[in-house]
A and B are shown apart, each in its own frame.
Chain A
Amino acid sequence: MEEPGTRHLTADEVAGLIGRDGPEGISEERATHASSCDRCGRIIAMHQEEHMRLQRLAGGPRGKPTDTCPAAAEWASLAAGLAEASRSDELLAHASRCDACGAVLHALVEDFSEEVTEAESHSLEAIESAKPSWERQMAHRMAQASGRGRVIPMPFMRWMARAAAVLVAVGAGWLVWDQWIVSDPARLIAKAYTQQRPFEFRIPSAGHAGVRLERRGMGSNFQRPPALLEAEAKIARELEKDPDSVKWLALRARADMLRWDPETALGTLQRALERKPDDPDLMADLGMAYALRAEAQNRDVDYGYAIEYLGRSLKAKPNSLEAIFNRAVVYERMYLNEEAAREWRRYLDLDTAGAWREEAQRRLGELDVKKKSGRQP
């Protein structure tokens, strides 16, 4: 049997020594052996080297997130404890193997979980939005935005239900008439678009045409195609009768966009969306309006909103050709060429023939050329 003073260090004893300043993890007698035994000394040195190498794993340059990586918003959800359990497991599994996503998660967890420091607190108190007057102004805007969300009293709800039942009973004949009225200005707008396509984005039911770059929309009455003027007049008449009608608001917004007035279109669409919050067509139009404002006012942040609304629309209507087309164009504007190419490919899978398909093919080809030449546009 070996004497305690001559026995080599065990794995636990070696582990107790690593990463510490001194031999606190083992007895004095074992520490004496460690310092006098060549073999144990060599093994301890190796453990220390490996310890250092492990410490250095977190440093150095990181790769970029790929197409298959989850969006940053998902990492934020995980860090905030809002992601569902099964999705959290998938995200953690991905983060543990992906340098780029692991770094994003690291930053988010740190930023979300750490207390505000004194220095940060000073910085936050110094900005304009810390002032009570700013807070009051903001509160006023929020109250206005939510004011329409007042809970409708129950007797009124019951009355509404009865009214709805009567409307359903009146039903079919009215529906036919209504469809005719709705489709008419919609068709006129689509026709005006095809006559003078004022931007690269698509609007529903419109035929293909080349973009007219020489003019910024159909600004003056003189420039506007008769079809658009006719549509606008009809829409105005209908809105006079029913100012809150979602379908007429949506069409008016579309006409506004054709005139390159995205600001007005945004206001109109927001109003419509307040009345029909989940409507995928409204969200698609809102996405297009944001993209147009981004161009008109050089507001890059609006491209982000455009992507968000187009994404929401596509979640409800995944095969909407117009929304896919428009999202691809927005990605191009954001110089997110890989995302744009992915979107064009998706479009081509769904649209099997026609001039819109040809345009999608051409644009995908141009992106491929850029990718091969390794240049940004």
Chain B
Amino acid sequence: MNWSSLTSEELIPACIDEGDEAAWEEFVRRFRPVIAGTVMRTARRFGDAAPQLMDDLVQETYLKICANRCRILREFKPQSEESIFGLLKTVAFSVAQDHFRSGLAAKRGAGRQESALDSYVESVVAGREGLPQVEREIFLGQIDDYLAAGGEAVTPERDRQIFWLYYRHGMTARAIASISRIGLTQKGVESAIQRLTNLVRRRLVESRLEKAEGKSSANSL
């Protein structure tokens, strides 16, 4: 049997039902890049991607996949051909995260105070210049009011979420478009961002002008 010619949807039942070592070898070979890649990126965010550790975590991921007679794979209902890759990424992430969470718990026992996801979260905001905390809180509230003022007709909930993912969390339009539930292409996301950015910025400037001039400057804009 030429296992490498099977699609992933055909290969997985073959692995589970036949238990054939050659089929599993194809499974390990085919999905190693996605598993090892996820493990490596997650480990880097937690600050430790030593080769030995990566090997251990890759191995743990495979073992987790085949635990309880491959329960994870048996219960999985793929929505598309790509779904299996998403599943394996989540398993690899959860194995890596468990490892660092446990390790950090031990360090906290030795007097360190940070929570498990601190270094993970820091990896996202590192190097970005931010606003002073109080100013940021006020600014967020102000923008939220402007976005809410138009209601669902002017600023649909999805567009508001896109706006926050982009500005508050610094995600790129491409990354936002990759969240399948958003349901837009990158261009669609960019267009939503542009529209709400213009709206918010105009309101912010109007507010400043009103304060400065004591009257509305909406007509001039």
Does A215 lie at the interface of the complex (its beta carbon under 8 Å from any beta carbon of B)?
A: no
| A-side contacts of B169, CB under 8 Å | 58, 95, 99, 102-103, 105-106
Q: Which residue of B lies closest to A63 (CB)?
A: B121
Whether A72 pairs with B129 at a CB distance below 8 angstroms is no
Whether A59 pairs with B179 at a CB distance below 8 angstroms is no
Whether B181 pairs with A129 at a CB distance below 8 angstroms is no
Whether B220 pairs with A8 at a CB distance below 8 angstroms is yes
A141-168 interface mask toward B, CB cutoff 8 Å, 1 = contact, 0 = none?
1110111111100000000000000000
Q: Which residues, 168 to 219 on B, are CB-close (under 8 Å) to A?
A: 168-171, 174-176, 178-182, 197-198, 200-202, 204-205, 208-209, 217
A33-56 interface mask toward B, CB cutoff 8 Å, 1 = contact, 0 = none?
000000100010011001101111
Whether B66 pairs with A146 at a CB distance below 8 angstroms is yes
**Least distance between B23 CB and chain A CB atoms (Å):** 8
Q: Which residues, 76 to 91 on B, are CB-close (under 8 Å) to A?
A: 79, 82-83, 85-87, 89-90
Whether B32 pairs with A130 at a CB distance below 8 angstroms is yes
Interface of B is mostly: helix
Bound CA–CA A28/B152 (angstroms):
38
Does A81 lie at the interface of the complex (its beta carbon under 8 Å from any beta carbon of B)?
A: yes
Bound CA–CA A19/B62 (angstroms):
47
Whether A112 pairs with B86 at a CB distance below 8 angstroms is yes
| A-side contacts of B27, CB under 8 Å | 139, 142
Name the one of A56, A270, A377 contacting B130, with C-beta atoms under 8 angstroms.
A56
Whether B63 pairs with A150 at a CB distance below 8 angstroms is no
Name the one of B21, B82, B160, B170 contacting A106, with C-beta atoms under 8 angstroms.
B170
| A-side contacts of B54, CB under 8 Å | 127, 129
Whether B68 pairs with A273 at a CB distance below 8 angstroms is yes
Q: Which residue of B lies closest to A113 (CB)?
A: B178
Does A304 lie at the interface of the complex (its beta carbon under 8 Å from any beta carbon of B)?
A: yes
| A-side contacts of B85, CB under 8 Å | 80
| A-side contacts of B157, CB under 8 Å | 93
Whether A139 pairs with B32 at a CB distance below 8 angstroms is no
| A-side contacts of B179, CB under 8 Å | 78-79, 81, 92, 109
**Least distance between A70 CB and chain B CB atoms (Å):** 12
Q: Which residues, 328 to 362 on A, are CB-close (under 8 Å) to B?
A: 333-336
Whether B24 pairs with A57 at a CB distance below 8 angstroms is no
Does A237 lie at the interface of the complex (its beta carbon under 8 Å from any beta carbon of B)?
A: no
Whether A107 pairs with B123 at a CB distance below 8 angstroms is yes
Bound CA–CA A373/B133 (angstroms):
26
Name the one of A58, A120, A141 contacting B168, with C-beta atoms under 8 angstroms.
A58
Name the one of B29, B123, B125, B174 contacting A58, with C-beta atoms under 8 angstroms.
B125
> Contacts A64-B115, A141-B63 hold; do A96 and B70 have CB atoms under 8 A apart?
no
Does A108 lie at the interface of the complex (its beta carbon under 8 Å from any beta carbon of B)?
A: yes
Q: Which residues, 185 to 209 on A, are CB-close (under 8 Å) to B?
A: none
Whether B201 pairs with A143 at a CB distance below 8 angstroms is no
> Contacts A11-B202, A56-B131 hold; do A106 and B29 have CB atoms under 8 A apart?
no
A interface residues, how many (CB within 8 angstroms) = 100
Does A301 lie at the interface of the complex (its beta carbon under 8 Å from any beta carbon of B)?
A: yes
Bound CA–CA A144/B37 (angstroms):
25
Whether B51 pairs with A143 at a CB distance below 8 angstroms is no
B interface residues, how many (CB within 8 angstroms) = 112
| A-side contacts of B202, CB under 8 Å | 11, 14-15
| B-side contacts of A242, CB under 8 Å | none
Whether B15 pairs with A76 at a CB distance below 8 angstroms is no
Does B117 lie at the interface of the complex (its beta carbon under 8 Å from any beta carbon of A)?
A: yes
Does A233 lie at the interface of the complex (its beta carbon under 8 Å from any beta carbon of B)?
A: no
Bound CA–CA A267/B86 (angstroms):
30
Whether B70 pairs with A149 at a CB distance below 8 angstroms is yes
Whether B178 pairs with A129 at a CB distance below 8 angstroms is no
| A-side contacts of B66, CB under 8 Å | 141-142, 145-146
> Contacts A46-B208, A62-B121, A277-B69 hold; do A129 and B32 have CB atoms under 8 A apart?
yes
Bound CA–CA A220/B83 (angstroms):
51
Whether A116 pairs with B25 at a CB distance below 8 angstroms is no
Whether B90 pairs with A77 at a CB distance below 8 angstroms is yes
Name the one of B45, B158, B209 contacting A107, with C-beta atoms under 8 angstroms.
B45
A272-289 interface mask toward B, CB cutoff 8 Å, 1 = contact, 0 = none?
011001000000000000
Whether B83 pairs with A82 at a CB distance below 8 angstroms is yes
Bound CA–CA A39/B175 (angstroms):
38
Known: A113-B178, A145-B69. 20 other contacts (CB 8 A): A15-B201, A54-B200, A57-B131, A58-B130, A58-B167, A60-B130, A61-B133, A82-B87, A85-B181, A92-B182, A106-B124, A107-B121, A110-B175, A120-B37, A120-B40, A127-B55, A139-B27, A140-B24, A304-B101, A308-B98
Q: List 12 A-B contacts (CB under 8 A).
A: A11-B198, A64-B117, A64-B118, A81-B82, A95-B169, A104-B120, A108-B93, A129-B55, A136-B25, A138-B24, A300-B106, A304-B102
Q: Which of A's residues lie within 8 Å of B, judged by CB? A: 8, 10-12, 14-15, 18, 39, 43, 46-47, 50-51, 53-62, 64-65, 72-73, 76-83, 85, 88-89, 92-93, 95-97, 99-100, 102-113, 116, 120, 123-124, 126-130, 134-136, 138-143, 145-151, 270, 273-274, 277, 294, 300-305, 308, 333-336, 376-377
| Top-7 shortest CB links A-B | A60-B130, A58-B170, A59-B130, A80-B86, A304-B98, A300-B102, A59-B128
